[in-house]
Amino acid sequence: MKLLSIGNSFSTDAHRFLHTLAVQNSLELDTANLFIGGCSLQTHWQNVCEDNAYYDYELNGNETEAKISIKSALDSQKWDVITLQQASADSGIYSTYQPYLSSLAAFVREHQPRAKLYFHQTWSYENGSEHPGFLNYERDSRRMFESIVSASEKAAESIGADLIRTGTVIQYLRENTKVFGYENGGISLCRDTFHLSETYGRYAAAATWLSTLTGEKLTAKELDGMDIKLLEIIMQAISGGIKNA
């Protein structure tokens, strides 16, 4: 399977362990990520219209020196899966999605008619975050999460795409997995209150993506010194979080 994401730093978080996790589970998956930090659907569409080669290009979770446009990436090879997403601050405000999302999806399908389209549901910020976009949700993590769920489900339906429920899994871990110890200052899934942590947060996102894209039940294996018991809890949470969405 060949996967292309048109995203931002949140797709970078999701991609970091995605290829590695596929290899660990004997699944064939090559990943490419186009990203501009904080890039919104409106800016993605503007970059399409102007054919701007502004995107950093990551392969299998690793940076390259390349700068590329969306059109060039789409035309570079046959893609099996293509993902789209909104900027995190706007992710719970559906009015910011259109008409850009529909236009972008149509452009993608014009260039890759056989690719399966997914929409990436991002996650809410942590309570206490000073990110200016958190004001859109009255600085309430649960409110932001619920807004993201509503907007992302509507977005996926509007373009006939499946949904990768990363935000749902992250929220499920926050609210249902006591071992992560949020109330007691334990392990956090975010490194700066909005980007995912470089270990467990990114692992949870990658596992959510891989489970959704392949439909396979994944096995947790040791990776980058992370606690295998916590990785197993994340795998269990993916099933529980998506099932209870």
Residue 178 pLDDT grade (very low, low, confident, very high; cuts 50, 70, 90): low
Angle in degrees, CA 39, 127, 93, rounded to 5: 40
Question: What DSSP character marks residue 93?
Answer: -
Is 141 within 8 Å of 124 (Cβ atoms)?
Answer: yes
* pTM given for the model: 0.94
pLDDT for the residue numbered 244: 52
**DSSP letters for 185-226:** T---SBSSSSSBPTTHHHHHHHHHHHHHHH-PPP-----TT-
Is 20 within 8 Å of 94 (Cβ atoms)?
Answer: no
pLDDT of 58 strictly over 90: yes
CA gap 56, 33 in Å, rounded: 8
Supply φ then ψ for residue 144, to 5 degrees.
-65, -45
pLDDT for the residue numbered 241: 57
CB atoms within 10 A of CB 39: 23
pLDDT for the residue numbered 24: 97
CA gap 237, 240 in Å, rounded: 5
Residue 162 pLDDT grade (very low, low, confident, very high; cuts 50, 70, 90): very high
pLDDT of 128 strictly over 90: yes
Residue 174 pLDDT grade (very low, low, confident, very high; cuts 50, 70, 90): confident
| pLDDT mean across residues, the chain | 93
Q: Which pLDDT tens digit goes with each residue over 10-39? A: 999 999 999 999 999 999 999 999 999 999
Q: Which CATH number fits domain 2-243: 3.40.720.10, 2.60.40.10, 3.50.50.60, 3.40.50.1110?
A: 3.40.50.1110
Is 222 within 8 Å of 229 (Cβ atoms)?
Answer: no
